[in-house]
Amino acid sequence: MVINFSDAEEVVERDGDLSQVLEPWHIPLILGTEHDDDVNERTFQDVVDLLEVVQPAIYVPDVVYSYNWMDEEIQDNAIEAYIGHVRDLQKEIIEQDFDVRLIPTNKGWKYEHFVEYRELYNEFDYEEFAFYAVQYTGGDAGNAINVLHSHVRNSIAAIDMKDIFLIGRLAGDDLFDFAPRVRGATGLRQWKDACSTGDGLSQDPWPEFQENREAKLAVNDGQEQRPVNEFSDKKEDN
């Protein structure tokens, strides 16, 4: 089950845990990626307190923000701050012996930005990466799917992770065109469109919707995507 950090906090405050919204076999995937104001108000202790209650869980941490219209120095500082936050949180999880798996997310888009993650990934043996694809749609972004494709390739070339998870991108045609290492995705709008009926949301269309999206992601299974930097010194810089 995928749930935003703020929603998880609200449920925990109301019920004491997530048991009322989870089946016994569910492991919650908590998304820290929310509106900038919500992220800025969240403290390190807020995160630790929630993870202690919701474990076992998977968590995509988020702090600070970085946009392509910012000065390069500010972008670099944001990436450094994010990596530092993930490192501190991972150490806290280890110290507290929490049953929580972290999946870092992108605070950059250039090859050089993702290179900054290498030490973190090597230190904690991370093999997954989450892309906050919501910021590639709507407003001035339009539907920047080709830009997102490019940024995903940059991350693979720099980090060489095994699996990529897309947050906010579930359109079938979009998933079909992503790199083979994109093996997971979530998206509220597409799910609501597919599972809405005249009487509200229904579980009946869900199996077909899920099967369709899994099929799109599975098209490239068995193919090996080699890191770009094995073949050329040139990196994409979109």
**Of the given ranges (45-54, 139-148, 168-177), which has the lowest mean pLDDT?**
168-177
pLDDT computed for residue 228 by the predictor: 44
Q: Measured between alpha carbons, how far is 201 from 9 in angstroms, rounded to an integer? A: 24
Instruction: Say which residue, 191 or 113, is predicted with more confidence.
Output: 113
Mean pLDDT for the stretch of residues 32-53 = 88
C-alpha dihedral (114, 112, 216, 136), degrees to nearest 10:
90
CA 221 to chain centre: 21
Mean of all residue pLDDT scores within the chain: 78
Q: Which of 22-26, 48-52, 167-171 holds the top average pLDDT?
A: 48-52
pLDDT computed for residue 233 by the predictor: 46
Q: Measured between alpha carbons, how far is 75 from 3 in angstroms, rounded to an integer? A: 28
Instruction: Say which residue, 175 or 81, is predicted with more confidence.
Output: 81
Q: Measured between alpha carbons, how far is 34 from 211 in angstroms, rounded to an integer? A: 27
Q: Are 166 and 211 in contact (CB under 8 A)?
A: no
pLDDT computed for residue 219 by the predictor: 56
With a CB cutoff of 8 Å and minimum separation 6, the contacts of 46 are: 9
With a CB cutoff of 8 Å and minimum separation 6, the contacts of 191 are: 170, 209
pLDDT computed for residue 189 by the predictor: 57
pLDDT of 11 over the 50 cut: yes
Mean pLDDT for the stretch of residues 77-100 = 95
**24 Rama class: left (phi>0) / alpha (psi -120 to 50) / beta:** alpha
pLDDT digits (tens, 9 = 90+) for 158-201: 999 888 888 876 565 666 677 778 776 765 555 556 556 666 65
Mean pLDDT for the stretch of residues 44-60 = 95
CA 54 to chain centre: 18
List the structure tokens of 129: 């990466």
Q: Measured between alpha carbons, how far is 119 from 140 in angstroms, rounded to an integer? A: 33
Mean pLDDT for the stretch of residues 20-30 = 87
Sheet of strand 128-132, all strands in order from the earlier edge strand to the far edge: 128-132, 163-167, 182-186
> Which numeric CATH code is attached to 2-221?
3.20.20.105
pLDDT of 142 over the 70 cut: no
pLDDT digits (tens, 9 = 90+) for 213-235: 555 555 555 544 444 444 444 44
Mean pLDDT for the stretch of residues 91-113 = 93
Q: Measured between alpha carbons, how far is 104 from 62 in angstroms, rounded to an integer? A: 8
pLDDT computed for residue 39 by the predictor: 82
* Amino acid residing at 88: D
List the structure tokens of 163: 């699996």
List the structure tokens of 214: 């899994």
